[in-house]
Amino acid sequence: MEEMHIGVMTWVLRDPIESLGLALAVGVRTMQLGCPPDGYDPERKEEFKELLRKSGIKVTTVFCGYAGENYSTLETTKETVGLRNPKFREERVRKTFEVSDFAKEIGVNAIAAHIGFVPEDREDPLYGEIVETMRKIADYCKGNGQFFALETGQETARTLLRFIKDVGRDNVRVNFDPANMLFYGSGDPIEALEVLKDYVIGVHCKDARREGGRLVEVPFGEGEVGAERFLRKLVEIGYKGPLTIERELEDPEEQRREMARIKVSLEKLRDKVLSTR
């Protein structure tokens, strides 16, 4: 497969077969698959596995979705997303194990998630709790021959790097989303990429720009990430993996059209960057 090939992100709550159809319609060869909080109906799962085998599309990462997550505000995100809140943690660890098992069934060697805001203060009791929780998850994934990738954005790159080192497991990595760094105000994406460069196994090509005093998601290359700068930095750090387009739109047809349009422009930009390195 070519260097920095292009894929699509299909997020949680989407039917897996519909997700596969999106990847085929956009014309990519890889996808990251969002795993719904409720899991898959066993019959649909078997159908998906067969269709995936026939499609020739490679799933590079399976993302964990957790019931009850709410990204509508910063406070609801802190309260409900990932593994930060103790009242959700045990059930979500169990769910993560299920996702790991599902990923193994379809031959995927990486799962990923937003684990929630890791506290900046190492002495915060929550910090130690999340470290221990991450060790349990990493050990389970290791048993399935997998990496666990932390989605960036909700903490600074240096906090995330320190957290990874404190977890101390060699299969903990990063799925780097530059737009999330902007959305959460956690630092310049290019500087963050330099900090985390030794751990990046996947990236999201997602963008954001300020409109009317607030940040909104826009097609990759049309926002404040700096698409060419971002790709050049990926080349500089030696990243050769997929460039996974993420575009969060409610209308499936609009999403497909936008992803197809982004794919064309991203191919041109990638080829330009690779030809001038």
Q: 67-96: per-residue pLDDT in tens?
A: 888 888 889 999 999 999 999 999 999 999
214 part of a folded domain: yes
How does residue 277 score in pLDDT terms, banded at 50, 70 and 90? Answer: confident
In which region does residue 213 sit, left (phi positive, over 0), alpha (psi from -120 to 50) or beta (all else)? left
Residue 6, token pair as written in the block: 């292009």
242 part of a folded domain: yes
| The pLDDT of residue 39 is above 70 | no
Average pLDDT, the chain: 93
1 part of a folded domain: no
Pair 164, 201: CB distance under 8 Å:
no
Pair 16, 33: CB distance under 8 Å:
yes
Total domain count, the chain = 1
The reported pLDDT for the residue numbered 37 is: 64
195 part of a folded domain: yes
31 part of a folded domain: yes
95 part of a folded domain: yes
Query: Which CATH number fits the domain that encloses residue 199?
Result: 3.20.20.150
| The pLDDT of residue 255 is above 70 | yes
CA distance 8 to 260: 10
188 part of a folded domain: yes
| The pLDDT of residue 11 is above 80 | no
222 part of a folded domain: yes
Range of the domain at 182: 6-275
How does residue 48 score in pLDDT terms, banded at 50, 70 and 90? Answer: confident
The reported pLDDT for the residue numbered 123 is: 95
